[in-house]
Amino acid sequence: MTGTHDAIILGAGAAGLMCAAVAGQRGRRVLLIDHNRTPGAKILISGGGRCNFTNIGAVPERYLSENPHFARSALSRYTPRDFLDLVERHGIAWHEKTLGQLFCDGSARQILAMLLDECAKGGVDLRGGVSVTAIDHADGLYRVEAGGAVARAPALVLATGGPSIPKMGATGFAHDVAKRFGLKLVQPRPALVPLTLSGGEALFTTLSGVASNVVARCGKAAFREAALFTHKGLSGPAILQISSYWRHGEGIAIDYAPDRPAGWLLDAKAASPRTSLKRLLAEDMPERLAATLATQIGLEGELGQTTDKALRAAAQRLKDWRFHPTGTEGYAKAEVTAGGIATAGLSSKTMEAQRVPGLFAIGEAVDVTGWLGGYNFQWAWASGWAAAQAL
Ligand code: FDA
């Protein structure tokens, strides 16, 4: 490991592996260091072991960042089609699941093997199980002390991701190093994470395991997918998506009846006056949830015995059921970290720090966070590829 390279990349996850492979194949001498013995740990567990490796709808509008335009350049120069071409060149079978999400037919291991193969083709010197003990910069070279050896290069790429899922070796290392070099951070926070409930809303936790198709809203963001009640609060894709937009103190709104037209309870009263709200709701959702909602609304009798005013109010409440989450389940359960290295200090074309020549940041470490469903890997591939063009 000792010696001079063209680039040292810290973090052999999705972004670091892509960046190393592309830079290596462009003729750069690349050293890639990870403190985990096995690279790409999150790739292996992603998508339930099948890796949702991209999304064909990966447009900049589906990413959160203080600068919503920052991701545009990288995403347009390395597209889902580009990654799919790579996957197909390696003979990996894939399928589209829902909402543009592409998965391996077989195993996420194939994606990691593909990236390692590409790194090998680029002659990348990959060192796993090595801890970085010191980094400094002098005379145009970055000096990295790791595993008892010293490496030097004119370029240093921060690709160690964010602190979500610490038990897998995730750290805030890239954020700390960036700060030391004078880059600013957008306050990191857990994202794509379950939300917690307490007080009067904790009664919903007794529905743990019950799921329903809803629209979840927070501010202008809205997601139509499944919500799942848990023993701590709310989860499921609709909630994970909305959690990235949610901030402490805010409420979220759930539409339990997204397909019911306005006035549907009045129509139901006219058509079947002896039916109940619970019975009607159970056509769209599990019975336990239907019963809880009817009880909470206080409308347990026959529709024919209920005033139109009460039915209108019930329909309105079901369309816009407010929850006030007390928090999230934190980094231990967060699929990604939102916030991170501020894009204001980086070039959107190369990911290089504007005021620190030779320092690059890519992947989840940067303040760019995708929706659930392959968007975060696409950002890792695209930002890694963009940096590799400049190394
Ligand atoms: P990533 O976390 O992949 O890699 C960082 C690397 O840096 C790791 O190898 C780590 O060991 C190393 N590192 C950390 N600190 C270090 C230090 N101090 N010194 C040296 N090395 C260090 N996304 C998606 O698009 N589709 C999906 O299916 C899923 N599924 C999914 C499931 C689960 C359970 C999680 C937790 C996450 C996902 N994601 C996902 C998100 C996706 O995994 C994530 O956004 C990318 O892996 C980010 O890629 P990076 O390379 O930036 O970080």
Residue nearest to atom 30 of ligand 1 (CA): 46
Spatial separation of the C-alpha atoms in residues 258 and 141, rounded to whole Å:
58
Q: Where in the chain is the domain with CATH 2.40.30.10?
A: 195-328
Phi-psi region of 109 (alpha: psi -120 to 50; beta: other; left: phi over 0): alpha
Phi-psi region of 199 (alpha: psi -120 to 50; beta: other; left: phi over 0): left
Measured CA distances, 251 to 46, 141, 322, 323, 376 (Å): 29, 49, 7, 6, 26
Tell me which DSSP letter residue 371 carries: P
Residue nearest to atom 3 of ligand 1 (CA): 13
Spatial separation of the C-alpha atoms in residues 301 and 280, rounded to whole Å:
12
Give the mean pLDDT of the chain.
Answer: 97
Residue nearest to atom 18 of ligand 1 (CA): 173
Stretch 186-205: mean pLDDT:
94
Spatial separation of the C-alpha atoms in residues 186 and 171, rounded to whole Å:
16
| Ligand 1 touching residue 240 (CB < 6 A) | no
CATH architecture of 195-328: Beta Barrel (2.40)
Residue nearest to atom 45 of ligand 1 (CA): 376
Q: What is the DSSP string of 241-281?
A: HHHTT--TT--EEEES-TTPPTTHHHHHHHH-TT-BHHHHH
Residue nearest to atom 40 of ligand 1 (CA): 46
Please, are residues 281 and 300 in contact by the beta-carbon 8 Å criterion?
no
| Ligand 1 touching residue 165 (CB < 6 A) | yes
Out of 22, 35, 46, 168, mutate this one to test ligand 1's pocket (max ligand atoms within 8 Å of CB): namely 46
Q: Which helix (H) or strand (E) holds 228?
A: strand 221-229
Spatial separation of the C-alpha atoms in residues 143 and 125, rounded to whole Å:
16
| Ligand 1 touching residue 169 (CB < 6 A) | yes
Strand ranges of the sheet holding 7-10, from the earlier edge strand across to the other edge: 125-127, 30-33, 7-10, 156-158, 359-361
| Ligand 1 touching residue 210 (CB < 6 A) | no
Out of 42, 131, 135, 362, mutate this one to test ligand 1's pocket (max ligand atoms within 8 Å of CB): namely 42
Q: What backbone torsions phi and psi does residue 84 show, to the nearest 5 degrees?
A: -65, -35
Residue 156 above 80 pLDDT? yes
Q: Which residues of 52-80 are buried (b: 16+ CB within 10 A; e: fewer)?
A: bbbbbbbebebbbbeeeebbebbbeebbb
Measured CA distances, 91 to 85, 86, 242 (Å): 10, 9, 35
Spatial separation of the C-alpha atoms in residues 107 and 111, rounded to whole Å:
8
| Ligand 1 touching residue 277 (CB < 6 A) | no
| Ligand 1 touching residue 162 (CB < 6 A) | no
Spatial separation of the C-alpha atoms in residues 68 and 203, rounded to whole Å:
38
Spatial separation of the C-alpha atoms in residues 47 and 357, rounded to whole Å:
36
Per-residue pLDDT tens digits for 42-96: 999 999 999 999 999 999 999 999 999 999 999 999 999 999 999 999 999 999 9
CB contact set of 267 (below 8 Å; sequence gap of 6+): none
Residue ranges in the chain assigned as alpha helix (H): 14-25, 41-45, 72-77, 80-89, 108-121, 173-180, 237-243, 264-271, 277-281, 287-297, 308-319, 375-390
Q: What backbone torsions phi and psi does residue 195 show, to the nearest 5 degrees?
A: -105, 150
CATH T-level fold of 3-190+336-390: FAD/NAD(P)-binding domain (3.50.50)
pLDDT attached to residue 200? 87
| Ligand 1 touching residue 340 (CB < 6 A) | no
Residue 288 above 80 pLDDT? yes
**1 — pLDDT class (breaks 50, 70, 90):** low
Residue nearest to atom 48 of ligand 1 (CA): 364
Query: Counting atoms of ligand 1 from 1, which one is nearest the CA of 362?
Result: 52
Report CA(380)–ligand 1 centroid distance (Å).
9
pLDDT attached to residue 4? 81
Out of 99, 376, 385, mutate this one to test ligand 1's pocket (max ligand atoms within 8 Å of CB): namely 376
Residue 170 above 90 pLDDT? yes
SS3 95: strand
SS3 37: coil
Report CA(129)–ligand 1 centroid distance (Å).
16
Please, are residues 277 and 300 in contact by the beta-carbon 8 Å criterion?
yes
SS3 144: strand
Per-residue pLDDT tens digits for 341-362: 999 999 999 999 999 999 999 9
Q: Which helix (H) or strand (E) holds 30?
A: strand 30-33
Report CA(91)–ligand 1 centroid distance (Å).
24
Tokens read off for 253? 């709104």
Residue 368 above 90 pLDDT? yes
pLDDT attached to residue 387? 98
Report CA(193)–ligand 1 centroid distance (Å).
15
- Beta strand 149-153 with 156-158: parallel, antiparallel or unpaired? unpaired
pLDDT attached to residue 231? 96
Report CA(98)–ligand 1 centroid distance (Å).
23
Residue 29 above 90 pLDDT? yes
Please, are residues 281 and 268 in contact by the beta-carbon 8 Å criterion?
no
Tokens read off for 7? 């680039």
Stretch 129-149: mean pLDDT:
96
Q: Where in the chain is the domain with CATH 3.50.50.60?
A: 3-190+336-390
Query: Counting atoms of ligand 1 from 1, which one is nearest the CA of 39?
Result: 9
Residue 203 above 90 pLDDT? no
Report CA(71)–ligand 1 centroid distance (Å).
18
Q: What is the DSSP string of 328-364?
A: E--TTT-SEEEEEE-GGGB-TTT-BBSSSTTEEE-GG
| Ligand 1 touching residue 10 (CB < 6 A) | yes
